């Protein structure tokens, strides 16, 4: 399995418009973070987790030519704002783009992209066509890629983590139930959010992310959904446990299944 971090930043991305902090002015590519997203590839199957406003550029940069499905963690704009840019895949593959999302996220997608859900005889030519499939806590099977959705609390919203074998992708949450934690037991590789060093009302901070990774006893952990308050990657990484690091855009992770 290959995991590519398409974006490792927060809803504003880094650099942030108007900001002159040292992180936003940094010339280090590892400090330049598009909105959070990841690509998962197993054999000929390729899926994307979230499609935010940077989706078009992220996909062009990755070189991906085929996309089987998009998994949506939750309905915030930085996670669904680029779904219209799935149109080239829809045209080339000649079928709707399959999107797995909670019922709440689906409602937001239908509002945001109402033109994609018009009656066929009224639909404007060239608009995207989406096949929305409910996410609950039942396993998802995409071409024999088995994915386990895990429900989390993101302030007042529900957000989903996704486990694939020994790997889990966990972002945008501030509360993980014991049941959810138990569903992550046995993973060896973890991509998990760490917004900043200070606590936050709807996201977990760096120390909380480290604690979860250590409790799960993972071999490797990468932190994503990083804000500029975290500091520069070159300064933060040396302070982390040896099996942990800040993720960065373009990071490729190879995992044996």
Q: What is the pLDDT of residues 221-241, one digit of tens each?
A: 999 999 999 999 999 999 999
Q: How many structural domains are present in the chain? A: 1
* Confidence band, pLDDT 50/70/90 cuts, at residue 210: very high
How many CB atoms are closer than 10 A to CB 69? 21
How many CB atoms are closer than 10 A to CB 162? 23
What percentage of the chain carries pLDDT values higher than 70?
A: 100
| d(C-alpha 151, C-alpha 104), whole Å | 13
Which domain CATH number covers 206?
A: 3.60.15.10
| d(C-alpha 52, C-alpha 7), whole Å | 9
The predicted structure's pLDDT at residue 230: 98
The residues, any chain, with a CB within 8 Å of residue 79's CB and separated by 6 or more, are: 35, 36, 37, 50, 51, 52, 72, 73, 172
Lowest mean pLDDT among 87-96, 100-109, 112-121: 112-121
Is residue 256 one of the residues assigned to a domain? no
| d(C-alpha 249, C-alpha 29), whole Å | 8
pLDDT at residue 125 is higher than 90: no
| d(C-alpha 83, C-alpha 53), whole Å | 8
pLDDT at residue 219 is higher than 90: yes
Per-residue pLDDT tens over the stretch 145-180:
999 999 999 999 999 999 999 999 999 999 999 999
Regarding pTM above 0.95, the answer is yes
* Confidence band, pLDDT 50/70/90 cuts, at residue 119: confident
Q: Are the C-beta atoms of residues 3 and 191 closer than 8 Å to each other?
A: yes
Is residue 257 one of the residues assigned to a domain? no
Is residue 122 one of the residues assigned to a domain? yes
Q: Which domain holds residue 48?
A: 2-251
* Confidence band, pLDDT 50/70/90 cuts, at residue 121: confident
Structure tokens at 29: 């590519």
Instruction: Report the mean per-residue pLDDT for the chain.
Output: 97
The predicted structure's pLDDT at residue 122: 81
The predicted structure's pLDDT at residue 48: 98
pLDDT at residue 257 is higher than 80: no
The predicted structure's pLDDT at residue 123: 82
Lowest mean pLDDT among 28-37, 112-121, 141-150, 155-164: 112-121
The predicted structure's pLDDT at residue 242: 98
* Confidence band, pLDDT 50/70/90 cuts, at residue 63: very high
Is residue 37 one of the residues assigned to a domain? yes
């Amino acid at each position: 399995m290959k995991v590519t971090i398409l974006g490792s930043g927060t809803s504003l991305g880094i650099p942030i418009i108007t900001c002159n902090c040292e992180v936003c002015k940094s010339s280090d590519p590892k400090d330049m973070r598009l909105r959070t997203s990841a690509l998962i590839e197993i054999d000929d199957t390729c899926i994307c987790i979230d499609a935010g406003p940077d989706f078009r550029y992220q996909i062009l940069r990755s070189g991906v030519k085929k996309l089987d499905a998009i998994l949506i963690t939750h309905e915030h704009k930085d996670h669904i704002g680029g779904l219209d840019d799935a149109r080239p895949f829809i045209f080339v593959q000649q079928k709707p783009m399959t999107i797995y999302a909670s019922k709440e996220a689906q409602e937001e997608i239908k509002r945001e992209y109402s033109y994609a859900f018009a009656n066929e005889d009224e639909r404007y030519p060239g608009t995207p066509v989406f096949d929305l499939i409910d996410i609950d806590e039942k396993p998802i099977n995409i071409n024999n890629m088995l994915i386990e959705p895990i429900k989390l609390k993101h302030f007042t919203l529900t957000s989903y983590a996704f486990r694939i074998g020994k790997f889990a992708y966990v972002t945008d949450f501030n509360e993980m139930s014991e049941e959810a934690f138990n569903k992550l037991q046995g993973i060896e590789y973890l991509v998990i959010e760490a917004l900043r060093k200070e606590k936050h009302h709807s996201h977990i901070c760096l120390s909380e992310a480290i604690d979860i990774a250590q409790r799960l006893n993972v071999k490797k952990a990468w932190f994503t959904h990083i804000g500029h308050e975290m500091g520069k990657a070159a300064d933060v990484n040396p302070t982390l446990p040896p099996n942990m690091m800040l993720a960065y855009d373009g990071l490729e992770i190879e995992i044996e299944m």
